[in-house]
Amino acid sequence: MLRVRNLKCFYGRIMAIKGISLSVREGELVTLIGANGAGKSTLMNAISGMLPGWSGEILFREKPLSGLEPPAIVRGGISLVPEGRHIFGPMSVLDNLKMGAYTVYRKQRREAVSGDMEMVMELFPILRERSGQPAGTLSGGEQQMLAIGRALMSRPKLLLLDEPSMGLAPLLVEKILNTLTTLKNQGLTILLVEQNAQAALGIADRGYVLETGRMVLQGPAADLLEDEEVKRAYLGKDYDEFYEDF
């Protein structure tokens, strides 16, 4: 469904992504793990059209995304849940969700929008309770749910998530990730960027490991969880702990 080939991204003269390739097949939940500064968010921004300076190839459902503006990409079926949520704080929860449907409203399909709204409320009942409240007053976890809900309002075929677990308590992380599994089971294709490698690999089908702008490993998520290199670098097992195990 998504195919990236030799993507290079630049911030001015600095190359942040140095020629990476990855693919997400229809119905898959794929995770991209890597440390801070590896280029994960850069990749997300490039796919969603928010980073203009890239070269290489990004194909979505066989069509190149090169040169498309973000609204066109959203209409094409890709929706991003950005890092740090970026919800509209002063606006109500309901209005935030409506904003997510801006491409659908343009087509004058109000009924469809209210149906989608219902679906999101089903998925996150807390949003129904808080629907009139300003989004800025929600807790971190609720804000994350709102951000995901808002992204779903554009009826994406591919959902991109950038660090949805960031700053959340373990229990909430689990809840968010469970929701992703539910969405995947409903047929949504998902590309999940995470620093929390253990959690992400736990729910993903496949994974990629990005290091300083280069892909160093890929494979079935279950294999990566067992991988010594991944364990050392991303699953919080450092050399000392390894030796203690002996």
Interface with another protein, residue 5, by CB under 8 A = yes
User: Which region among 83-91, 110-118, 153-161, 215-223 touches another protein (by CB under 8 A)?
Assistant: 215-223
3-state secondary structure of 187: coil
Q: Which of 28, 95, 174, 223 binds another protein (CB under 8 A)?
A: 223
Provide the residue type at 178 as one letter.
N
Q: Which of 166, 211, 235, 237 binds another protein (CB under 8 A)?
A: 211
- The count of other CB atoms within 10 Å of the CB of residue 239 is 8
H or E element in which residue 8 lies: strand 2-11
Interface with another protein, residue 174, by CB under 8 A = no
User: Which region among 27-35, 80-88, 120-128, 207-215 touches another protein (by CB under 8 A)?
Assistant: 207-215
H or E element in which residue 195 lies: none
Interface with another protein, residue 202, by CB under 8 A = no
In angstroms, give the least distance from the CB of 203 to another protein: 16
Where residue 62 falls (left for φ over 0; alpha for ψ -120 to 50; beta otherwise) is left
User: Which region among 12-20, 95-103, 161-169, 184-192 touches another protein (by CB under 8 A)?
Assistant: 12-20
In angstroms, give the least distance from the CB of 109 to another protein: 34
H or E element in which residue 87 lies: none
Q: Which is nearer to another protein, 100 or 207 (CB)?
A: 207
**Radius of gyration (C-alpha) of the chain in whole angstroms:** 18
**By rule CB under 8 A, what string of x and - marks binding of each residue 14-43 to another protein?**
----xxxxxx-x------------------
Provide the residue type at 230 as one letter.
V
Nearest to 188 by CA among 112, 78, 62: 78
* Contacts within 8 Å (CB) and 24+ apart, 64-73: 71/102, 71/103, 73/47, 73/48, 73/49
Residues 120-149 that bind another protein (CB under 8 A): none
36, 195 in Cβ contact below 8 A?
A: yes
User: Which region among 33-41, 128-136, 149-157, 219-227 touches another protein (by CB under 8 A)?
Assistant: 219-227
Q: Which of 111, 228, 240, 245 binds another protein (CB under 8 A)?
A: 228
**Contact residues for another protein, defined by CB under 8 A:** 3, 5-6, 18-23, 25, 211, 214-220, 222-223, 226-229, 242
